[in-house]
Structure 1
Amino acid sequence: MNMVAAPAAAHVRRTVSHIALNYRNPDEGPLAARLLEVLGFSVVQDIPLPDGSRFYQLLIDATVPTRAEGIVYMSALPAADRALYAAIREGLGVGRGHEHPAVASYRSAQASDPEYGFHVGILVESLEWIEDTMAKLKALAESDRQFKGRINLLCNRSRRGSPEVDARLDASPLFGTTPRETYGRNAVQAFVETDIFAAGALGEKLVFELDYVFPGYPDNMFTKTEL
């Protein structure tokens, strides 16, 4: 029997089309959209729903013609999910004297590493934009009634070893004083943790991650992980 090799398959381009996020409280759609706009997203659809909540479509970059990619769909946490989270919290005694010890361990893990669970990473081409955006969020967290107590900020700087990168980050108003480092070199991470969105085992919070990679360094956080 003659065996004929099948022709190699042509390369097929694949990208991430969209993600779907839920804001926790049905009346906080505008607040959730406002936070995403600070993070650089643009609202392209805002649809009021019969239950009083709102459905949104957002783009990560509205200046680029969309090919059904870079999209966030956002809606209120469904009632079935709210009921499930309520049952989990009730069963584990969350916030009560008989709280299951697994809850404290879970929260401790979250607090020590913002990448511990599900999170949304956004690659940004400007370090200055990240510094400015985090400064805006810090001001909102301190003075805006809607955001006060609702967002927590954290950042990781690149591991040392590249003189130009080290000098730039030492002078940074955001990364200059942080003791935390990335899992790699020549890149930074800025984290925005918020309870406006629902995610994780308890549905309590979601983390957005702003990433920047210094140009000219093929050896970086996204090409080589260092633990």
Structure 2
Amino acid sequence: MSVAPTAALPASRRTMGHVALHYGQKEEASLAARLLTTTGYVETQSFPLPDGSSFYRFVVDRHHHARGDGIVFLSLLPPAQAAVVDAARAALGFGTADEHPSIAGLRAAIDADPEYTFHLGVLLDSLEELERVVEELQRLNRDDPEMKGRLKITMNRARRGEPAVDARLDASPVFGDVDRYCYGRAGVQAFIETDILVAGPLADSMVLELDYVFPGHDSHILSVVES
């Protein structure tokens, strides 16, 4: 494994500006927005579009409200893109008895590793907040009329070896029984796969990711990837 040098990097600063997400069904605009709000994104703007769908602007937290970075735009999957998806699904027999085996292969890969395809991750500065969000999403997936059964939540805990981190996660209400591990140390990941949002080659679901890194560690899940 090699780590890229940093000495030659330019002095100017950059931040991640924005990402555009899509919901798949026009009538689920408000549901998609509610899902993002539940995961902690802050809605700053929404308005209807001529096609009857809705457009939203979110930010990662309240500190980014008027900034030009940390933005998530949410809208309906565009018609031209949806047409390509429909054609691909038809050609591959998506959801039929004659479905192309590559679809099952992709599904198995995502089940094994939610990071396998496109996903959006956000870093939280509080493990307690991450735990609270996960518990609320679990409740919604269990009880909410609109979200019940539509959220697949997968957890990764930090690799063992740091006694304080291990003890905290063993006592966690959401990570205590987890036997999946991150590609690194001193951090945790929660993945929420849902068909309320769509991405990927078949636009059938998307994965949101919530991360936390324990303080005081230069080598952690988001700084050094371990195989």
Same fold (TM over 0.5): yes
Using the alignment, how far apart are the partners of 1:91 and 1:57 within structure 2? 34
Task: Tell me the equivalent position of 1:135.
Answer: 135
Residues 105-124 of structure 1 aligned to structure 2 (within 5 Å): 105-124=105-124
What is the alpha-carbon distance in structure 1 between the residues aligned to residue 21 and residue 10 of structure 2? 34
Alignment of 1:92-107 (within 5 A): 92-107=92-107
Q: Following superposition of structure 1 onto structure 2, how do residues 78-227 of structure 1 map, counting pairs within 5 Å?
A: 78-227=78-227
Structure 2: give runs of 5+ residues left out of the alignment.
1-7
TM-score, normalised to structure 2, is 0.93
Q: Report if the CA contact (8 A) 2:54-2:76 is conserved.
A: yes
Report the aligned-residue RMSD: 1.4
- In the alignment, the residues of structure 1 paired with residue 179 and residue 26 of structure 2 have an alpha-carbon distance, to the nearest angstrom, of 38
CA spacing shift, 1:64–1:80, aligned 2, 3 Å: closer
Bigger Rg, which one: 1
* Structure 2: distance between partners of 1:74 and 1:128: 27
Per-residue CA distance 1:16-69 (angstroms, 9 max, x = gap)? 110011111112111111001011111111111111100111111123454300
Query: What is the count of residue pairs matched by the alignment?
Result: 220
Secondary structure of the residue aligned to 1:133 is helix
- State the secondary structure of the residue aligned to 2:202: coil
Tell me, yes or no, if the aligned pair for 2:59 and 2:65 is still in contact at 8 Å: no
Q: Which amino acid aligns with 1:37?
A: T
SS of alignment partner, residue 159 of structure 1: coil
| 1:175-212 residue CA offsets vs partner (Å, 9 max, x unmatched) | 11111000000000011111111101111111111000
Contact 2:182–2:221 (CA under 8 A) maintained in structure 1: yes
Q: Give the AA of the match of 2:60.
A: I
Match of 1:3 in 2: none
Structure 2 counterpart SS, 1:158: coil
Aligned to 2:18: 18
SS at match of 1:161: coil
Q: Which residue of 2 aligns with 1:5?
A: none
CA change 1:222–1:79 in 2 (3 A) is same
Q: Which letter does structure 1 place at the counterpart of 2:52? A: G
TM-score by length of structure 1 reads 0.93
Classify the secondary structure of the residue corresponding to 2:220: coil
Q: Distance in 1 between matches of 2:9 and 2:223?
A: 26
Letter in 2 for 1:181: Y
Query: What is the alpha-carbon distance in structure 1 between the residues aligned to residue 66 and residue 78 of structure 2?
Result: 28
1:157-182 Cα offsets, whole Å, 9 max, x none, are 00000000000001111111111000
Q: What percentage of residue pairs aligned between the two structures are identical?
A: 48
| Compared CA separation, residues 34 and 65, structure 1 to 2 (3 A) | closer
CA distance in 1, matches of 2:9, 2:153: 45
- 4+ aligned runs moved over 4 Å, structure 1: none
Unaligned runs of 5+ in 1: 1-7
| 1:71-113 C-alpha deviation (Å, 9 max, x unpaired) | 1111101111111111111100112121111111111101110
- Quote the Cα distance in structure 1 between the aligned partners of 2:65 and 2:98: 53
What does residue range 27-46 of structure 1 map to in structure 2 within 5 Å? 27-46=27-46
